[in-house]
Amino acid sequence: MDLIDKLQTEGILTEDEFCRLLWTEDAALRAKLFMTAQQIALASFGKQIYIRGLIEFTNYCWRDCFYCGLRCANKKLERYRMPNEVILDCCKTGYNMGFRTFVLQGGEDRYYTDEVMCGIIRAIKHLYPDCAITLSLGERSLRSYKELFAAGADRYLLRHETADSLHYSRLHPPSYSLAVRKDCLYDLQSIGYQVGSGFMVGSPYQLTEYLSKDFEFLRKLHPAMIGIGPFIPNKDTPFRHQKAGSLELTLRCIAILRIMFPHANIPSTTALGTLHPEGRLHGILAGANVLMPNLSPIEVQQHYTLYDRIGGVDGSLAENMELLGNQLAAHGYAMVVDRGDYVPEPKKEL
Ligand code: SAH
Ligand code: SF4
């Protein structure tokens, strides 16, 4: 039994085994990793790729994560908030192109109180009752998460970023805590959200052992969605001189996660596309089943700089969709018009 067989049957490996798999130079083992992950994704989703429309509705943030260009200490960034009509316009364009999930993502912006956020959620649900709303607004209180859920939000993305608390403390100011982040995730699950977590690959000071902890934490959380992507430096942050995460390591992490979580919705993220022109396609071939094209107007995308967009912004939505569509079609995959909810695996009979 090799490492892939063990991962598939037991759902987990030891730290040492994960490290070996992440760095193996055995070409046959590497090929088996990707092939197994791809076959599992095919068994769960066929060749259908779910699409989510990303709306980056505010780049104000009061937090100060060291890796992120939206951090409050970055005074060079021109800040914006999308007026509600613009958010609804993004939804309209997206709906007409077949999107049935809208992802509202932003910095932690105190302007968006529960009342304001609930108003936006209700307005979208009123116009598009057949669509799912995913929020990605960072850490909020249990009460706030409950209100947003009651207003109609379906899903919530909150990456844990790293499951090692020492590493967490090297990526964030001292008052931030991994335990609080994890509590938010458990709160969200207890309310009934489809919850997404995940981490950056190749973030500064990351050791391979930490990735093994990420896998272990995710196994415990068992999220409906798992978003991972390479760290990419932003020139206006303290990590400006740090190296970006690698495509290969990110793809191996995606494949491992697909084998561990056959039914999870796993996006092939924009950051992968930033590293390599076909990065998002490679993510799909490594077992991801979701793409998140950007519905934000191009002028806005230029200011939503979590990291430096090496090749510039995505281009128009239509161009981007055509490009992705062609890349997928060359491998027999297609984007589908579907909410793409999480369907957990059936419970094994005892
Ligand atoms: N404010 C919210 C959502 C926006 S940030 C939050 O923090 O949860 C969304 C994600 O972008 C973060 O979870 C982080 O993993 C990712 N991110 C931020 N800066 C990045 C960088 N320099 N490289 C790669 N990913 C980054
Ligand atoms: Fe703000 Fe999120 Fe960036 Fe942290 S990662 S600074 S919370 S936008």
Report whether pLDDT(345) > 90.
Answer: no
Say what the pLDDT of residue 104 is. 98
CB-ligand 1 contact for 67 (6 Å cutoff): yes
pLDDT tens profile 148-204: 999 999 999 999 999 999 999 999 999 999 999 999 999 999 999 999 999 999 999
Closest ligand 1 atom number to CA of residue 232: 23
Q: What's the pLDDT band for 346 if we cut at 50, 70, 90?
A: confident
Report whether pLDDT(122) > 70.
Answer: yes
pLDDT tens profile 182-195: 999 999 999 999 99
Q: What's the pLDDT band for 125 if we cut at 50, 70, 90?
A: very high
Report whether pLDDT(252) > 70.
Answer: yes
When pLDDT is averaged across residues 320-347 and rounded to a whole number, the result is: 93
Closest ligand 1 atom number to CA of residue 307: 22
Which ligand is located closest to the Cα atom of residue 59?
A: 2
The overall pTM is greater than 0.85: yes
> How many Cα atoms within 13 Å fall on the side-chain side of residue 130?
8
pLDDT tens profile 85-121: 999 999 999 999 999 999 999 999 999 999 999 999 9
CA of 162 from ligand 1 middle (Å) equals 12
> Do the Cβ atoms of 84 and 123 come closer than 8 Å?
yes
CB-ligand 1 contact for 159 (6 Å cutoff): yes
Report whether pLDDT(34) > 90.
Answer: yes
Report whether pLDDT(312) > 70.
Answer: no
CB-ligand 2 contact for 107 (6 Å cutoff): yes
Say what the pLDDT of residue 309 is. 82
CB-ligand 1 contact for 107 (6 Å cutoff): yes
Report whether pLDDT(348) > 70.
Answer: no
Closest ligand 1 atom number to CA of residue 306: 19
Report whether pLDDT(291) > 90.
Answer: yes
CA of 25 from ligand 2 middle (Å) equals 35
Q: Could you tell me which of 212, 213, 209, 214 has the C-alpha nearest to residue 227?
A: 214
Mean predicted lDDT score pLDDT of the chain: 96
When pLDDT is averaged across residues 49-67 and rounded to a whole number, the result is: 98
Stretch among 26-35, 104-113, 315-324 having the lowest mean pLDDT = 315-324
> Do the Cβ atoms of 228 and 250 come closer than 8 Å?
yes
Closest ligand 2 atom number to CA of residue 71: 6
Q: What's the pLDDT band for 315 if we cut at 50, 70, 90?
A: confident
Residue identifier of the C-alpha nearest atom 12 of ligand 1 = 159
Distance CA 212, CA 215 (A): 5
Say what the pLDDT of residue 318 is. 86
Strand partners, 161: 199
Distance CA 48, CA 333 (A): 6
When pLDDT is averaged across residues 18-44 and rounded to a whole number, the result is: 98
Residue identifier of the C-alpha nearest atom 4 of ligand 2 = 65
Say what the pLDDT of residue 107 is. 98
Ligand 1, pocket-test mutation among 172, 178, 203, 306, most atoms within 8 A of CB: 306
**How would DSSP label each residue in 68-122?**
-TTSTT-TTSPP-B--HHHHHHHHHHHHHTT--EEEEEE---TTS-HHHHHHHHH
Say what the pLDDT of residue 1 is. 87
When pLDDT is averaged across residues 214-232 and rounded to a whole number, the result is: 98
Task: Dig out the tokens for 223 from the structure.
Answer: 């999220």
Say what the pLDDT of residue 349 is. 62
CB-ligand 1 contact for 271 (6 Å cutoff): yes
Report whether pLDDT(340) > 80.
Answer: yes
